[in-house]
Structure 1
């Protein structure tokens, strides 16, 4: 049986649930992810869309799609600003910042992407 993982924002207004397994668990080093997170890389879990569901607060999530990018988007809680899950533009997968989960995941990132454009610091 697949594991179920729950997550939420800092203020608790938004909550979600994911039924494992994860498709991918990665660290993205691209400049857009660095700007979106304010860190050296984003740490993201990617799951099939059917494995994800909102438990509460979906209407409190805002989304930003970067118009000039083929696939870059971010989502966040309108109340506290916490990064929140978002559906890919294809609609096939959901991208979730690993820090949004409430409990340990029992997994670690299995790859680094856009390593060539990583921060020089």
Structure 2
């Protein structure tokens, strides 16, 4: 993987950010929380090391919702349009970037589908990307 700089924004354009650094992972997550948060069959997220994000515009408009019983799940979103935006996950020490919020294609391709066993029957798949029952162990 190579060092990259790419930008993202929310649907209404009130929030803009820039990412610099090397994306570490790219997964489609099929857990029920990601399905509820996105309204789709899975969330597509890149993972990158902390310190890689710069808020260009609208950081004060970013709000969070943390499910009290969830160990790792927090949703961060634009308070104007509701679009998901990057979030820091303390437990993994990574920034999660919703791939759909990027303004251009990411520099890496999805490498797996996680929480496959809890996916909705109608959700997409069958594309040859490896599937995993839970989180993929990090080396």
TM-score (normalised: structure 2): 0.82
**Is the 1:5–1:20 Cα contact (8 Å) retained in structure 2?**
no
**Partner of 2:61 in structure 1?**
60
SS in 2 for 1:39: coil
Report the Cα distance in structure 2 between the residues aligned to 1:14 and 1:93, rounded to whole angstroms: 20
SS in 1 for 2:35: helix
Shift of 1:49: 0.9
**Partner of 1:117 in structure 2?**
118
Unaligned runs of 5+ in 1: none
Q: Number of paired residues?
A: 121
Is residue 83 from structure 1 mapped to residue 84 from structure 2 by the alignment?
yes
SS in 2 for 1:49: coil
Shift of 1:107: 2.3
Aligned-residue CA RMSD in angstroms?
Answer: 1.4
Shift of 1:6: 0.3
**Is the 1:49–1:91 Cα contact (8 Å) retained in structure 2?**
no
Runs of 4+ with deviation above 4 angstroms: none
Shift of 1:18: 0.8
Higher RCO (C-alpha under 8 Å, 6+ residues apart): 1
**Partner of 1:4 in structure 2?**
5
Higher helix share: 1
Q: Indicate the structure (1 or 2) with the bigger Cα radius of gyration.
A: 2
**Is the 2:89–2:95 Cα contact (8 Å) retained in structure 1?**
yes
**Partner of 2:23 in structure 1?**
22
**Is the 1:18–1:52 Cα contact (8 Å) retained in structure 2?**
yes
Unaligned runs of 5+ in 2: 123-139
**Is the 1:88–1:95 Cα contact (8 Å) retained in structure 2?**
yes
**Partner of 1:41 in structure 2?**
42
Shift of 1:54: 1.1
